[in-house]
Structure 1
Amino acid sequence: MRKLLTLPFALTLAISAAYYSSSAYAESYLTGSVGSATTTGFAEDSTTLNFGAGARFGDFFALEVSYLDTGEFTASETYNDGQLDSSLKFTGLNVSLIGHLPLSDDLELYGKVGQYFWRADINSYAHADNSSASLRLNDADLTYGGGVLMHLSKQLALKAEYQIIDFAADNDGAFGSTDIASVGFIFKL
């Protein structure tokens, strides 16, 4: 299923970028944000870091590529045999198509949809028998979200964003989803 979703998504991004790249309105930007993430099966939040680059084509569309680190999620469970501690960390490349809705010269809303090409590092430690296990997985999944941009100048904007990585779509619910609320900036080059 992942390959079926990835190919049309990649073709759509490539066609959109090729069509709008000839536009005189294309402008490049850098972006960065910090936030808080929650993921299915883990009680504690983690701190996320996201930074990347994009190109905006006119007033309504942008294409963005960013590195996203969801931070480390930890959990502890007590069983009859003792305690099991686990940790989970996602890192990867996020490619998104973004639609903008300007509300005024200084304020706009946006929605985004994309693909997150991730690596997960999973570690567990069983206290009862003093054993540990590690696992590394790679895949790609759907990501979507939205936010608000507030332009402070012609080059600098602040953003607040909510994003969901839907791991359940391809992995039979192994990770569920990760929800990220973040604040950051956009700097136009």
Structure 2
Amino acid sequence: MKKMLVILGFISISHSVFAEDYGFYAGLNIGIGKADFNTPNGLDKSRSLVSGLVLGYKLNQYFGVEGQYTGIGKVTDNVSGSAKADALSLSAIGYLPVNEEFNLYGKLGVAATKSTVSSSLSPMNDASRTSVTYGFGGQYNLNKDIGMRLGWDHYNAAVDMSSGNKHNINANVVSVGVVYNF
């Protein structure tokens, strides 16, 4: 019985220490990016596997800031042309603790995107765009150091047209990832 009380006491102490664990974290994610983009030759593939890196700082149990570099999608047309975009973002992140192991989160920030277009998609050209980004998800903390995430993020990208106009693109990314708390 005493051993059981000691074990329960240790678990209780470790959970309270875990709940106050704030600071820097870094992570990796992998997911599916889907760009809302049509090519002149028709789409063959509008979803692609994407990956990214996350670096953040949790100020307290409710707020933090997060930087992320991620792919946001690649489309391929029927004649083998392609357009691909990546994003670098900085967001405020708000956490809603459900219990000591699980948080819901929401993000709002700014993202700089860079689109790369293959030469076979003429009259489209590479372009950059800076705009608002947002997302939400959930994080399950396996222990005080490692958490698993499932999230959705929205980005805006663009391609330049030879006519001088920009064609704006919406992109959505659904990803799973792992974060490590320092």
Q: TM-score, normalised by structure 2?
A: 0.74
**Paired residues, number:** 151
In 1, Cα distance between equivalents of 2:65 and 2:74? 28
Q: Match for residue 184 of structure 1?
A: 177
Relative distance call for 1:176 and 1:135 in structure 2 (3 A) is closer
Cα 1:36–1:94 shift into 2, 3 Å: same
Once residues 136 and 176 of structure 1 are traced to their aligned partners in structure 2, the CA distance between those partners, rounded to angstroms, is 13
Secondary structure in 2 aligned to 1:125?
A: helix
- Matched-pair contact (CA < 8 Å) for 1:85–1:124: no
What is the CA deviation profile of residues 128-174 of structure 1, one whole-angstrom value per residue up to 9, with x for unaligned ones?
xxxx6672212212111100000100010000001111348xxx982
Cα deviation for residue 182 of structure 1 reads: 0.3
Gaps of 5+ in 1: 1-23, 77-83, 127-131
What is the alpha-carbon distance in structure 2 between the residues aligned to residue 137 and residue 46 of structure 1? 20
Counterpart selection for 2:103 from 95, 101, 108: 108
Q: Which runs of 5+ in 2 are unaligned?
A: 1-19, 39-44, 159-164
CA distance in 2, matches of 1:134, 1:174: 9
Identity of aligned residues (%): 23
What SS class does the counterpart of residue 175 from structure 1 fall into?
Answer: strand
Structure having the higher Rg: 2
Aligned to 1:125: 120
Correspondent of 2:25 among 29, 37, 53: 29
Question: 2:94: which partner in 1?
Answer: 99
Q: Could you tell me which residue of structure 2 aligns to residue 41 of structure 1?
A: 37
Counterparts in 2 of 1:152 and 1:26: CA distance versus 1, 3 Å: closer
Instruction: Return 26-35 or 67-76, whichever deviates more.
Output: 67-76
1:19 aligned partner: none
Amino acid at match of 2:68: S
In the TM superposition, 1:50-89 aligns within 5 A as 50-76=52-78, 84-89=79-84
Q: Detail structure 1 runs of 4+ shifted over 6 Å in the superposition.
A: none
Tell me the CA shift for residue 34 of structure 1. Answer: 0.3
TM-score (norm 1): 0.72
1:162 aligned to which of 152, 158, 166: 152
Query: What is the Cα deviation at residue 98 of structure 1?
Result: 0.4
Pick which of 173-182 and 51-60 moved more. Answer: 173-182
The verdict on how the C-alpha distance between 1:107 and 1:113 changes in structure 2, with shifts beyond 3 A counting, is same
